[in-house]
Amino acid sequence: MIPATFDYHAPGSLADAVTLLDKLGDDAKILAGGMSLLPMLKIRLAQVGHLVDIGRIPGLDYIKEEGGTLRIGAATKESALERSDLIRSKYPILLDTALVIADPVVRNRATAGGNLAHGDPANDHPATMLALGASVVVRGPKGERTIPVDQFFKGLFTTALAANEILTEIRIPTPPAKSGGAYVKLERKVGDFATAGAAAQVTLAANGTIEKVGIGLTNAGPTPIKAAEAEKFLAGKKPDDATLQEAGRLAAKATNPSVDRRGSVEYKRDMARVLTVRALKAAVRRAGGQ
């Protein structure tokens, strides 16, 4: 399968890329790892006049902690997250996520920024980033702005990014002590999109109750879903089994999945419930709770 014809541009700097996008407008699409965009162009679900490849812009590939924030450059490969000592030791929720995105060979090209900017509710990072309370830094002609991830996803394949803006960095607040997170995904086979997926990030108070919690759901509706009601319900409670089960039920209520070969609406909704409970239990365990 061969994509319809387009012009290819490979700017050497962010400034040049933004200028180019500003000039080309809606007729251009940003190419990062290309693991979602190129298949769409090949099967002609999408057609563009111009591809602006940001893969040759230096300085967009890093994983570092600075001043209480984990900063991930948008062009960081999923395989780099998977192999990073910092991620492996301090951000198990991100390791969980990286390990179930597509397959190991695809992860050598797929980027963390692209996984968010594509705006696909079936992608795995959005749920994780919702649970972590992350934000994204975007660069446009007027400079930089920061968008909280819970305001980033506007609709199916639609984000808060303007046509002339580039997602440059993901920022995650470093979780305090007694925090833990986990991502669980139900998939038919390696490389498949999630039948359902749930991310949970928990911080426990000194008395063992839940001080802070974030829950994100994958492929459970037209956008990645933040299970706000379940989060509100859990705040201040002891994370016992009955409480976590109720949180699972509330999270499932927030879903709006569609039927496909992965399952019926009822099945997917129930899997969202089950996986939310599993993610919460793993998160609590990793936070040092029961």
Residues of this chain that bind another protein (CB under 8 A): 1-8, 10, 31, 34-35, 38-39, 41-43, 51, 53, 55, 79, 102-106, 108-109, 190-191
Q: Which residue, 49 or 222, has its beta carbon nearer to another protein?
A: 49
Q: At closest approach, how far in Å is the CB of 271 from another protein?
A: 22
Which two structure tokens, joined as six digits, stand for 34? 């290309």
Q: Which residue, 66 or 189, has its beta carbon nearer to another protein?
A: 189
Q: At closest approach, how far in Å is the CB of 38 from another protein?
A: 5
Q: Which residue, 50 or 269, has its beta carbon nearer to another protein?
A: 50
Q: At closest approach, how far in Å is the CB of 230 from another protein?
A: 32
Q: At closest approach, how far in Å is the CB of 49 from another protein?
A: 10
Q: At closest approach, how far in Å is the CB of 74 from another protein?
A: 17
Q: Which residue, 6 or 157, has its beta carbon nearer to another protein?
A: 6
Q: At closest approach, how far in Å is the CB of 12 from another protein?
A: 12
What contacts 63, CB < 8 A, 6 or more positions away? 70, 71, 72, 73, 76, 80, 81, 84, 86, 87
- Cβ-based neighbour number of residue 15 at 10 Å: 12
Q: Which residue, 42 or 64, has its beta carbon nearer to another protein?
A: 42
Q: Which residue, 5 or 207, has its beta carbon nearer to another protein?
A: 5
Q: Which residue, 34 or 222, has its beta carbon nearer to another protein?
A: 34
Q: At closest approach, how far in Å is the CB of 144 from another protein?
A: 27
